[in-house]
């Protein structure tokens, strides 16, 4: 059974910044990258626990989509919350408790 995947406002802002940055050099590549990251996030609906924990105490997992990482949580309810789309060369984002 698939779960619902929700993209948080922070993740939407991250994705927008990534696409805008890449589009400065190549708008078509930026569009493809944006869809690639969204498509990857949506695959979490099928099996959200397949990726390792980033922070077990906060239930945050990380999904690699090189060179990016998607940070997300999956709760006891059938919902995945995508927290951030993040370039792996950057320092990891901070998560409030």
- Give the global pTM: 0.92
- Residue pair 80/4 in contact (Cβ under 8 Å)? The answer is yes
Q: Which residue has the tokens 């609906």?
A: 45
Residue-level pLDDT at 91: 85
Q: Is the pLDDT of residue 97 over 80?
A: no
* CATH 3.30.2310.20 assigned to 4-87: yes
CA geometry: angle 75, 92, 57, nearest 5 deg? 35
Q: What is the pLDDT of residues 37-83, one digit of tens each?
A: 999 999 999 999 999 999 998 999 999 999 999 999 997 778 999 99
How far, in Å, are 1, 8, 49, 59, 87 from residue 83 at the CA level?
Answer: 22, 6, 15, 12, 13
Residue-level pLDDT at 80: 96
């Amino acid at each position: 059974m698939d779960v619902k995947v929700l993209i948080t406002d922070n993740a939407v802002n991250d994705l927008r910044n990534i696409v805008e940055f890449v589009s400065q050099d190549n708008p078509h590549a930026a569009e493809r990258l944006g869809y690639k990251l969204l498509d990857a996030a949506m695959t979490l609906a099928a099996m959200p626990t397949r990726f390792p924990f980033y922070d077990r105490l906060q239930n945050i997992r990380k999904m690699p989509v090189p060179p990016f990482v998607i940070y997300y949580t999956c709760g006891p309810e059938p919902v995945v919350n995508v927290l951030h789309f993040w370039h792996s060369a950057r320092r990891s984002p901070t998560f409030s408790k």
